[in-house]
Amino acid sequence: MGLYQTCCVILYFMFLILKPELSYSMSCTSQKFTKNILYEHCNDLPHLNSYIHWNYNSKDFTFNLAFVATPTKPDGWIAWGINPNATGMVGTQALIAFKQSNGSIVAKTFKLNSYKSIVPGELAYRVTNVEAMYSNGMMVIFASVKLPEGMTELNQVWQVGSSVLNGTFPGIHDFQPENLNSKGKLDLMKGKSISNGSEDSRLKNRNIHGILNVVSWGILFPIGIMIARYLRTFADPVWFYVHVACQLSSYTIGVAGWATGLKLGNQSKGIEYTSHRDFGIALFSLATLQVFALFLRPKKDHKYRFYWNMYHHGVGYGVLVLGIINVFKGLEILQPESKWKLAYIIFLSILGGIALILEAITWTIVLKKKPGKSNNKLYDGQNGSNGRQQPLTS
């Protein structure tokens, strides 16, 4: 199943004695329960192929619900809950349905105190008539919840997972955009499910962060290195200004990507992508150090020019490697359509092929020079005696 797409399932009816059964399709309006279970409202939730059917009695403040979702795996779990104080997962009072080790389906109550702390027990709301069922790949949670007097809307959170630990405890769920955005509000008076605008904003920022960093460290920076290594042989001294312009543009866009990443971190408390973050910190630090090379560059005949060359080349290639690695780590997190990852791989392959061709051409030019005009010293960032640059050897 691709990101933001729902599963296609066959519409048909199954009936079992003593158990409510579900017929379903891609819309909640076509889902029906046996045993004359009827609900006044139903909403197609925007993420995770999930639906909620419900009634609300404003006289006794009873909220009756049937939450329908497809677990990540047949032996996985589904969850629906109410967050009394916020719109996120932390603090949610949840109902979680899963298969026990004996194969039966059960729904239990859990308190989500943090992303790493899920505690079974009674909820802040009185919950009755809790029941769960499994039919044709989908799970359903039935329950009645006593809401506080005067409540007109609630913060709902829903989720699906793939594993149950020892048949008694739900395992951790995925942290893909679908999972992170599965929350919103339910208007009890209007019968509407309302998407959480802040989550939409976070998803937009994730995409912007990814695009900026791919363009910066994944595309412009490698091209800038190729300009410095090969263009000098054919277009001196123009290569230097093109190289500087390309790398400064890369760094500027990278700064914007870094800032967007910091904003995402503030919006996603408790969610961490440790390796992606650590690579990002190292990458940005080295890139900043590389920018200073432009201001620390000694003259060609300075005694420290040799060491500056080593520092500039070494840091540059370090940024190149870290940038490409972190682009792929970012793609693993964002999980875009496979064509985008394939397109980037093709881009790198083409760039690598061009580099091999230019490497061969450059060395051919150097080797054809007369011995008296060749310069066996490492390139010092300036013209050789014959007006040509040697390819880098460090």
351 — pLDDT class (breaks 50, 70, 90): very high
Specify whether the CB–CB gap between 58 and 147 falls below 8 A: no
Mean pLDDT of the chain: 79
Task: Delineate the domains of the chain, giving CATH numbers in brackets.
Answer: 27-193 (2.60.40.1210), 196-366 (1.20.120.1770)
230 — pLDDT class (breaks 50, 70, 90): confident
Pairing, β 183-187 against β 169-170: unpaired
Q: Is the pLDDT of residue 373 over 60?
A: no
pTM: 0.51
Over residues 51-64, mean pLDDT = 89
List, in order, residues 6 or more apart from 7 with CB less than 8 Å away.
1, 49, 70, 137
CB burial string 67-85: b at 16+ within 10 A, e below: bbbbbbeeebbbbbbbbbe
Q: Looking at residue 201, what is its pLDDT?
A: 67
Q: pLDDT tens for residues 334-346? A: 777 788 899 999 9
With pLDDT > 90 as the criterion, what percentage of the chain qualifies? Answer: 22
